Amino acid sequence: MSADFTTTITVDATTQQAFDAINDVAGWWGRITGTTTRVGDEFVYVVPGLHYSGFQVVELQPGRRVEWRVTGSYLDFVDDHLEWTGTSVRFEIEEQAGGARITFTHDGLEPEDQCYEVCSNAWSMFVNGSLKSFIDTGVGAPYTFGGDEALSTADHDELHRQVVAAAGGRADG
């Protein structure tokens, strides 16, 4: 049994509908810069002043599996700011009676990590709440920013550049 963070949801949708919703990251997690539609695509997710994550799509099996590698990260609230860098996020989708079962795993997010409690709670909120709602009803609860927290594409690009430089090679896995 893995110590990595895992949570499972069941949804009232086909496996393909679940796959499509997972890949619409802005619909359930929040605004991203980049794309998630092909293996090799990269995207950035930022919570201003708290959290940066750069991801690369490493696997897409329509209706079955989505996997992203964290290519760069910065967590402002823990000592090892790059704690997520080199970890991966995986969604495994299985057909079941009346819908689909999605098992979400953040490989490398383990109970001994300083961010485990905060990060696992956040993943639970987004996967068990927002993603499930997005698949079941078409309406998620993604994190949104406005005012001083609003980020432009140039802001995202600059944060990505800074994290890659700070990681000193760790950002590429």
Over range 32-55, report the average pLDDT: 87
169 has a pLDDT exceeding 60:
no
Split at pLDDT 50, 70, 90, the class of 147 is: low
Q: What is the pTM of this model?
A: 0.84
DSSP codes of every residue in 103-129 = EEEEET--TTSTTHHHHHHHHHIIIII
164 has a pLDDT exceeding 80:
no
92 vs 79, which has greater pLDDT? Answer: 92
148 has a pLDDT exceeding 60:
no
Q: What is the pLDDT of residue 130?
A: 96
Least confident residue range of 19-28, 60-69, 111-120, 153-162:
153-162
Taking the mean position of all CA atoms in its chain, how far away is CA 130?
12
Q: What is the pLDDT of residue 172?
A: 42
Phi, psi of 124 (to 5 degrees): -60, -45
41 has a pLDDT exceeding 90:
yes
